[in-house]
A and B are shown apart, each in its own frame.
Chain A
Amino acid sequence: MAFNRREFVKAASGAIVLASAPFVLKRAGIAAEEPIRIGNILDKSGGLNIYSLKQMQALAMTVEEINKAGGLIGRPIELLFYDSQSDNQFNSKYATDAMVKDKVKVIHGGITSSSREVMRPIVDKFKGLLFYNSLYEGGVCDRRHVSTGMVPAQQLAPLIEYMVKEKGGKKGYILAADYNYGHITSKWMQKFIRDHGGEDLAVEFFPLDVTNFAPAISRIQAAKPDVVWSALVGGAHIAFYRQFEATIGKKNMMLASSTYGVGLEQLQLSPEEGDGIVVATSFIDSLPTAKDFIAKFKAFSGDQSYVGEYGEYGARGLLIWAEAVRQANSAEPDAVIEALAKGGVKVNGAGGLYSVDGQTNHTTMDIHLVVGNKSQSFDLIRSFEQRPPSDTQMVCDLNKNPNDAQQYEIKL
């Protein structure tokens, strides 16, 4: 009975496809003038929107720029936005809508790893393409997924070498957000600290809603490290930086982070509280390469505040995708994937040169070592050019296994 029904459904859907074939052909015929549809799924509302709001705008701005300059491969880009409301069930729903109903050529979006992991199987199933513009814990190996953000090895190696070797921060105490990103990042921190002859005294994890860090600070004081390493995430954890300054103080103990500034934390803290925190990032507003982008973004959004890395990710992701489309001379996902696999997709962006690594679909980029200053912004210490996503490269080779579609956890 059920088999009959399945067959009936198949036959029925086959009939629908046949019936709509002339329509599809007709659409193909006028494709030259037709816009390229792309989807952007980010959290405009809900608790995660601190990461999304500027990214949405930067992406929209970049689309507008490309359209004003005559479009992409002769076609305008049509941008559809979906608000995933900081809730993964909407990532699931809108990814399906975007693929099936709106038939977009690429989805840009996802902030958290979990939202990406919800959308990735959907994009795989409908043979689309997903650009994930966010820093994350690394390890995703899937040709339909492109990561344009930093991964731990890329970001942490220069940061930790600097702190341990040059600043003498041998003994480290690691605080991390209690989810995959924090757990994996803290392991990389431990590895790099030990590699450089340092010592990791302890690792502590905090749920995203913890605001009272007094017990942790007492434990830190008992352990007496040289550096406190933070991979804390989100609005609630900003309280740590404030409580740290009120009890221990950066004049007595160094503070370095992989995430500070990502959620524009420095704007919420007082100048003294943010001053002196050392961070590795792929973008800050004061980079010499960023002037043009920052000026355009401020004019476009009418918002004069600090833009930051997550804003720039929006422009970066779209520019990289557009370059791949130009090289493929087609916006069809499979053609774009072919172009990316060749490894020649390079874009000179606001944070330096971005080049997609064909082996992993991750991005090689410049990493900038920066330090928080008294004007709620960052000063550049030095830049490390063209750091490859070496952790993901350890486990992922899409040239060899083009059908791989999973996230590896790198064993350390």
Chain B
Amino acid sequence: MALRIVGLSPPSQPPRAWWWGFAALFAAFLLTMPIYFDIAVLFSVTNYLVLALLALSMSFLWGYGGMLSFGQTAFFGLGGYTYAVMALNLHETTGAMIVAIVLPMLFAAVLGYFMIYGRISDIYFSVITLVVTLILEKGIRATSGDQYVVGSVRLNGQNGIPTTPALQVPWNPKVQLEIDDVFYLAAILLVLTYVGLRLLLITRFGRILVSIRDNERRSALLGYDTRRYKLLAFVIAAGVAGLGGAMWGVWGNFVGPNMFNLGQAAQVVIWVIVGGKSTLIGPIGGTIAVQYLTDWLGTQGVGQVSLVLGIVLMVMVMLFQQGLLPSVGLIAAMARDALSGARRHRAPP
């Protein structure tokens, strides 16, 4: 419903030409940013882009799979830690990056099997994923002792791993990526993930997933094993979140237990809500807007960022249920309808 209002094509249809134009423009804008901005800005924006991967993972699963997982931070943290531990052990980062995507997917497969094949209801799914991320946080925080070592790497508990290595160029490990290179990489990964998820939705898998979201029982009666599709979506989303976590480690040269915590999980929900979960691009905008606000509040000395975020979240849920971007789109669509209502009616049903 919301999609049609905004004027985007429904997810199960191939994107229109203008969408490709938009994606190209978005990519072009990102890739030319270093020309206009200094390193400090690029560094901040890289953070936004990486966190946007986490938001994409959540909005794909929630907006199109109908599963609200608070545990995306679990996969995010797992990805980050896997990358740090593997890269420090192997002294090689390309393989570490790949493992950092695969391991969260495997974890999601096991966890998802438990929940989705156990047919627990939606709300329990949300709460269990939340509990899982809490367990991981508690567990990782309890690894300060020197007995908690993976290979040659101390897990360091509360302090996290502040020596998380920079990425190397795959074919030339001597060259490490600098701040601007990481920015390019994050931008490219974000655009690729966005386009990839968008195209995934027009495949058979994507269409079935959306139909399950709309009515799981009907889809099951049509003969689809809905559990399989939901599990697959859960696993894919975990991979995206894992990639985000690993890139976050690369960005800040740091991974820590805060990646798993409740505050972080809340932020992801806020990004997606602000951006609107009915599109994939919305949450990217939501992430950038909210993170920018948090950064800005930090230098303004407002004091209580959580106070402001809490108000934002309440207002969004109570007043702008579709998210800010779609709400703006809704107003735009109403204005357009007022101007050229007649043309719309001629369109085929």
Contact = CB atoms under 8 A, between A and B. Distances in A.
Given A93-B44, A180-B158, A205 B298 contact: no
Contacts of B38: 100-101
Contact of A113 (B44, B146, B159): B159
A18 interface: no
A45 B144 contact: no
A158 interface: no
Interface in B45-60: 47
Contact of B254 (A85, A88, A94, A180): A88
Nearest to A103: B40
A96 interface: yes
A82 B138 CA distance: 29
Nearest to A113: B159
B47 A89 contact: yes
Interface in A6-38: 6, 9, 12-13
Interface stretch (B93-101, B124-132, B301-309, B326-334): B301-309
Nearest to A56: B301
A121 interface: yes
B157 A88 contact: no
Chain B facing A: main interface SS: helix
B40 A114 contact: no
Contacts of A90: 295, 298
B256 interface: yes
B39 interface: yes
B298 A179 contact: no
Given A89-B252, A114-B162, A81 B47 contact: no
A178 B146 CA distance: 12
Nearest to A122: B253
B181 interface: yes
Instruction: Determine which residue in A82, A83, A409 has the highest number of CB atoms from chain B within 10 A of its CB, and name it.
Output: A83
Interface in B258-294: 258, 263, 294
B151 interface: no
Interface in B146-181: 146, 156-160, 162-163, 169, 175, 179-181
B223 interface: no
B306 A45 contact: yes
A87 interface: yes
B34 interface: yes
B144 A179 contact: yes
A207 interface: yes
Given A84-B298, A100-B38, A114-B159, A92 B254 contact: yes
B349 interface: no
Nearest to B141: A207
Given A96-B40, A121-B253, A178 B144 contact: yes
A85 B160 contact: no
Given A96-B40, A207-B142, 6 more contacts: A88-B256, A93-B47, A97-B44, A114-B158, A117-B159, A118-B252
9 contacts: A81-B301, A83-B297, A83-B299, A92-B252, A96-B43, A117-B162, A180-B156, A205-B142, A207-B138
